[in-house]
A and B are shown apart, each in its own frame.
Chain A
């Protein structure tokens, strides 16, 4: 295979080999195409004879339910996995992707769903991992630093090259991941849900950049579950279902309903449910809480039963930290947390749980799930002290399996195999397992931190319905989210955080995009 001449060429989608006759589209020849790709995982056929093509200068959206095989497809394109069957062509040439390394040589670069960052290394070191600039075999650290800064500046991300990745927030890590994919000799950029934990500002920057490289002839494969993003940047959409190719549509003309129907095989009436709020007695109260690292400063809030309180703010504004501190997993410097009238400030996490507070963390892999254990064990973990998981001080393994099965049904786990290690599920399904954890015990105040990260539209609707049910059943719900529509549609009260402080509390009708955003940004001078 002659990769050499490929590499020499410009990054533009210039005319390639003439033998390329089977291109499904009439315009430019495809940059990257797959023919009859199948991928058999042990026990699962993740892709079933999928054809796909990417033209230079287009943004091609991959759309499908959780577990449809989107990530698997792009992992084959990026050289991480090899297909069981079928072939991949790059500029008309059949390529046998031996490795990621080779894919990168061809200018194919990917942002994966699960981060591929080395936490102990700095941003700068991560950006060039595997592609370090050397001079005479010696790392050219000056050039590396300069180039890192250039990339970051170009993307406009608030990152510092010298920071260690493990100290960054999930959102910041996502930015590093994106920055890592932008290289000078790019020909194909693959983005797997890159905006899942970004706020609008960063998302907008990313899109501007995508527009820019599109103009340079780079082909972009983009996976997302957010409809508005499809509208914003997509050119064509390919829908996958159960590992099979369903259709390819023009993004400008395809309607939401049609997409969802193609994707799920059924119709989803509305994404956001209408919720009946009946605020009752005060359940949770946080008074003037400050954390030792000043990620939260003097913040107060209250949550009542029968309502959904949104916490919004930029990345790093402290909206997560305040609830983590309230849950007892992060330290508190000063302040008081009251649950149902009782001061719980000094209690352990377990005690707070027993009194009815429950926090679902945003990063399922890092702190949500035990990846190598089964779904059943993950679901039941918080509640092993009570029925149906325990009987007479011992585990009730029969009851546990039954209950876990019910929860899997309720969350629509795909595939419904509760004994399988969580690791082997698609991202969205892992999220379902995480959410199921809070249904194992009685809870008065639910705290969801980015509950729909990487979840498909159908499931998202189900999760929203689920949150609505909780609320209407009289629970108090706190929803921490960087997805503004989520906040706008689901909450009846919103606290906006800025630099660890509560900048505003917005009620009912006042919850509009404009109203919230106005508090997101600096207003300190005032």
Chain B
């Protein structure tokens, strides 16, 4: 079954998240006219989130009949490596570059260098500030945080009984974390939601486990744990162990297979999804369209929505998650 048409939002003027947006149905090309060589760069390929994006780009590249080479820098602290890898990719003869950026600003120079060679650069998932980008296929992580925040704020509007939230945005300093943090804090502002603790930490499950445990010790009366998907997954067994499953609810601010399973089992309350797979697919399609001189949307992103225990039945995971048993694909011929 094909994934399209898919409901997306398009920003106009592009590259400004504050622009007015219109809802459209995204329809990609059928086939590329020639096997273009695409280069895709990710911050890392160490978790299920980026695996989903990988699934999206690789499937779409196969569908369109283009070649793809994927590089990953190994983590959010490896900006310099990402720069080098993209340079290498271009040197290896890429026709277009798709970047899941480590830094919002740190790749701008590189983007203009590449653009000077008339190679299109598409910004996927994370966002970059360069005005010279050819296209963007993303939603802002700030909005993901905001979506999670809104979900809470709606459940606990101002005036209702205050609820205490432990907030675990992820590793300190990473661009997506800071964006998510800003979005979330902004969205719960003015509601009955009180963020009693903000704990940064690596997205390793062991690190998040420790933070969750310590926060539960510090705040025995906590109502919500909101954080990264890893936090949510880590929190489930800890809450079960402490018999707090009914007292403390868990939310994630993005979607992974573990979160999916958690919601289905009733262990995690809800999580917004940014349709990761679709973002990847659209980025590939945009790249091919630009290369072939076809019409393309400069700035699109799937509409965000929250998947909760009520709506999970109707949720199609193939828009967000790589299927079970999917192995990372680094090369599509």
- On whether A and B touch (CB less than 8 Å), the answer reads no
Chain A residues within CB distance 8 Å of chain B? none
